[in-house]
Structure 1
């Protein structure tokens, strides 16, 4: 048990040094005793990916070892039990947690004082003020991104953006190089497991044997950083060796190369091992030193200072009820083959490949998430709350604040357009253009019906038909909806999709 003075409680996603900087509003001083609680109940509530459970526990235990006697590490059934054992009714401070559930918990405890959030670029109050200034207008990510760039002086030349343009997306949409099976870039940083990982794996094995918890996916050698030193090594390798090729191919997919030139830093950022400012600034420094092209650096900075920050802010600004949005009234349950990551049951090569990547590592990059996994779920009308929960459980970088806006708003269009201007779904032609996944597939991207009908092409047109009245009035989808009238096989297409049901494609 800790002493009678104030104690600062660190959650398992608050692991970097920026969470220990002293400040008046956090209740932290240089010698404030620290507390971390490993609550078994977290893993009972959801059937998480085994690799995700391993990474989180490994990161927490590594951080505890680094902090030594300053930190009390409690293994308990619940957070409340762990807190009672560690501090009784003594005073506790905590940084603003990253989920509504955790925030409700800490606010329900009379001895806990909640300070501002850390690990993000903008204060929530500042975002709320900015959003109120846009009342009646869409909260466009592009406008927010420009504000963050100005405020943090990222990729700026005085008052203008570096290179004269804010957005270099047009330069970052190339398909993969022809005939290439992998992108010709150095491999990403990969950590080595140690005795703490061995202990974690032993504990997870025991919990499963005892029937205490259940996981999905595989837990091979850990492939994502669990310490600050590993995360910094991963950032350094990305910036020095992989960032130059990142931009052009950030939307491309290759069957044999799931990581392409992506940074693989999302889990480190979301565990709090890296600060977003250091990631963006290091990438900018590479451009200013002429070691990386501007389009690649801008694309990376946009992911960190634009999209990630935007998602975090919208999670809190839209409120907890946002997660229940279901503007398209999709209610179909997730099939078992999807829920259990049974990639071997899937014939469609793109979906088989991506689902296997998730099964084996708990990760795949943003385009497979959006245009392969999310698009398939959207086309089949699956319950967006169930899809959101699946992404949360199945990805090593998945947290509530990450997945609610990304899935409800971006992927499943369940908010009816509060976050994005159109549903992000397409037929097989997009996958064929941006990948090498369609060539050997049992299905043909151009076929809507018949034995070789691509499930994405067929699903795209049936999705448009099902929501015709809504999408016909959207300027970004109206032309596609009008194309329904030119389909000679629409009735056959609808019968075919009904007969497919929940079967794996």
Structure 2
């Protein structure tokens, strides 16, 4: 039996053909020299890697070296490896002698199946279309050829604002994480690396996310039983005092390979069929895994390598230092300050603050998409090259002019006011475009539309906003104000 080389995002049982298969794992220090990662991300990845090695025991050869090549020189005989998750790693393994590359694991729809589906489409690729294909292909929440409940998506039911005057959702917290001697060793090593000149961003802190399959499985079981039902309606809501809401907090577990996404899909589906969770909530969770996650993974490989540098909105400004350094204390806009602090303190915020606060602000300012891909990759515990490339370039920054989404995810302060409790305690007024109290999101929205209206493709979903832009009597003031603001922290 060939020895299986396991990367740090291939840590689940489903990456081995046999529970007793011999393995090799390499901890490459050079990975952390190349990029300035969030301290908690580095901790999570190393902790997960070392915990898996401890589970495998004598079955694995575990090497701590400067580079992967240094490690491989210490391994004799041929190896096999599952398809890596980045182009850089794929180029590495394809360039090595005596290393057989197997198809990808840890995803549901295969690359060939996706390519067959995508090749038949003319024009832009859309997640909703792919999601229907995947539901039918894998027999998830369907009755024959029809969707369970008569609708393919209950997304419209997932947009409830935060409930009443509550400052947090009334849901039980997810199972806590207990650090052990492996975590202590990782923290000691990272402290030493910093003294040696390897730099990190963000704050260190107790590990918040699973590093083992047992921890991830416990969190998934708890989520399905206790948090899946409220997850559905409040999926897009934000509360300053409740950063986790009812989200599963499992994105890093899927992306490290600790959990098999199809097993999670089936667990959610069983919850619906046994009456433990409503269809709308179950479908929303399934859509994230079987739909969006697989869609983004496959598009990363389906698009060519140059997609990462797409910049068709001509966003040429460099990401500012306060953003790079997660300097939330320099920001006065309450929503942006709180979300940036969440990245600084946890290396994680849920998908709506990522898209509608961080991504929205960067889009309005015209920051370079490729720099943002790198920032999201480095700054989030669940950030990997394949995840962030399409999510940031295509969805968040609309830099491909609609190759995989229908419109820019740009909004003014009114959306944030409706979907969060941020605006009530903010120095800025979401209704104002100009002046000392002008909301930087509201002013920035119109500034963005004016700057890009000659580039944005004709789109019925944008027509109303563009028509309203022409009726603004204070547009010249908005433009002058936002040019003066520049890239300073708002």
TM over 0.5, shorter chain: yes
Q: Is the 8 A contact 1:427 1:460 kept in 2?
A: yes
Poorly superposed stretches of 4+, deviation over 3 Å = none
Picking from 318, 321, 332, the partner of 1:347 is 332
Shift of 1:373: 0.1
Alpha-carbon distance in 1 for matches of 2:233, 2:20: 47
The answer for the alignment partner of 1:488 in structure 2 is: 473
Secondary structure, aligned partner of 1:85:
coil
Alpha-carbon distance in 1 for matches of 2:324, 2:9: 25
Shift of 1:46: 0.5
The answer for the alignment partner of 1:73 in structure 2 is: 62
Picking from 113, 127, 144, the partner of 2:100 is 113
In the alignment, structure 1 residue 182 sits paired with structure 2 residue 168: yes
The answer for the alignment partner of 2:5 in structure 1 is: 9
The answer for the alignment partner of 2:128 in structure 1 is: 142
Map 1:366-377 to 2 at 5 A: 366-377=351-362
Shift of 1:452: 0.2
Shift of 1:190: 2.1
Q: Is the 8 A contact 2:227 2:246 kept in 1?
A: yes
Shift of 1:96: 0.2
- 1:16-47 superposed Cα distances (whole Å, 9 cap, x missing partner): 0000125xxxxxxx644210000000001110
Secondary structure, aligned partner of 2:75:
helix
1:15/1:472 CA distance change after superposition, 3 Å: closer
The answer for the alignment partner of 1:26 in structure 2 is: none
1:472/1:63 CA distance change after superposition, 3 Å: closer
Alpha-carbon distance in 1 for matches of 2:410, 2:372: 15
Alpha-carbon distance in 1 for matches of 2:100, 2:387: 25
Q: Is the 8 A contact 2:124 2:402 kept in 1?
A: no
Picking from 252, 260, 263, the partner of 2:248 is 263
Q: Is the 8 A contact 1:176 1:253 kept in 2?
A: yes
The answer for the alignment partner of 1:39 in structure 2 is: 28
Q: Is the 8 A contact 1:190 1:225 kept in 2?
A: no
* Corresponding pairs, count: 490
Unaligned runs of 5+ in 2: none
Alpha-carbon distance in 2 for matches of 1:107, 1:203: 31
Secondary structure, aligned partner of 1:142:
helix
Secondary structure, aligned partner of 1:86:
coil
In the alignment, structure 1 residue 456 sits paired with structure 2 residue 441: yes
The answer for the alignment partner of 1:201 in structure 2 is: 187
- 1:331-379 superposed Cα distances (whole Å, 9 cap, x missing partner): 1111111001010110000000100111111000010000000000000
- 1:264-311 superposed Cα distances (whole Å, 9 cap, x missing partner): 110000000000011111011111111111110000000010000100
Alpha-carbon distance in 2 for matches of 1:188, 1:350: 24
Map 1:212-231 to 2 at 5 A: 213-231=198-216
Secondary structure, aligned partner of 1:179:
coil
Q: RMSD of the TM alignment (CA)?
A: 1.0
Map 1:34-433 to 2 at 5 A: 34-87=23-76, 90-134=77-121, 136-211=122-197, 213-433=198-418
TM-score, normalization by structure 2: 0.99
Alpha-carbon distance in 1 for matches of 2:473, 2:243: 38
Q: Is the 8 A contact 2:4 2:16 kept in 1?
A: no
Q: Is the 8 A contact 2:401 2:456 kept in 1?
A: no
Q: Is the 8 A contact 1:388 1:408 kept in 2?
A: yes
- 1:391-441 superposed Cα distances (whole Å, 9 cap, x missing partner): 000000000000000000000001111011111010000000000000010
Q: Is the 8 A contact 1:471 1:481 kept in 2?
A: no
Q: Is the 8 A contact 1:472 1:478 kept in 2?
A: no
Shift of 1:472: 6.8
Unaligned runs of 5+ in 1: 23-29
Alpha-carbon distance in 1 for matches of 2:20, 2:352: 44
Shift of 1:172: 1.1
Picking from 15, 18, 34, the partner of 1:19 is 15
Secondary structure, aligned partner of 2:171:
coil
Alpha-carbon distance in 1 for matches of 2:102, 2:275: 40
Structure 1 residues 160-169 or 228-237, which shifts more? 160-169
Alpha-carbon distance in 1 for matches of 2:87, 2:235: 32
Structure 1 residues 474-483 or 433-442, which shifts more? 474-483
TM-score, normalization by structure 1: 0.96
